């Protein structure tokens, strides 16, 4: 299974709901991830542009995209991002494969 990093920035309404009744939203969304064949590995609150970071595994990009679309459609995030992750070994494989691609930048 492939790893993905999901980042979300909550709306002010979502924060207000959490302040009123704090709940572990990771546990609340875990079944939706699992229904799509995914597994939440880690989750963190963050500072800055995004409020939450989730590291998850999914069997394919379509399933990862599906959870991203479902979450974005829920309205709790004002912005969200899903980033595919490569292990170091996968990154090294990609580097080796890239060097055999024959790609050349445009001249000029």
Instruction: Give per-residue pLDDT as tens, 23-59.
Output: 999 999 999 999 999 999 999 999 999 999 999 999 9
Tokens 């546990």 found at: 27
Distance CA 45, CA 66 (A): 22
Find how far residue 87's CA is from the centre of its chain.
Answer: 15
- Considering only residues 108 and 75, tell me which one the structure prediction assigns the higher pLDDT: 75
Tokens of 79: 């912005």
Instruction: Give per-residue pLDDT as tens, 1-27.
Output: 999 999 999 999 999 999 999 999 999
Number of C-beta neighbours around residue 58 at 10 A: 23
Burial class (CB in 10 A: 0-12, 13-18, 19+), 40: middle
Taking the model in full, what pTM does it have? 0.88
**Got the DSSP string for 23-65?**
--HHHHHHHHHHHTT-EEEEEEE-SSS-SEEEEEEESSHHHHH
């Amino acid at each position: 299974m492939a790893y993905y990093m999901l980042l979300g920035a909550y709306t002010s309404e979502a924060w207000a709901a959490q302040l009123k009744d704090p709940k572990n939203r990771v546990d609340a969304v875990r079944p939706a991830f699992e229904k799509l064949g995914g597994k939440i590995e880690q989750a963190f609150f963050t500072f800055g542009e995004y409020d939450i970071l989730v590291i998850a595994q999914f069997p394919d990009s379509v399933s990862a995209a599906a959870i991203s679309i479902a979450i974005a459609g829920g309205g709790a995030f004002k912005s969200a991002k899903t980033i595919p992750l490569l292990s170091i070994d996968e990154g090294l494989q990609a580097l080796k494969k890239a060097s055999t691609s024959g790609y050349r930048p445009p001249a000029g």
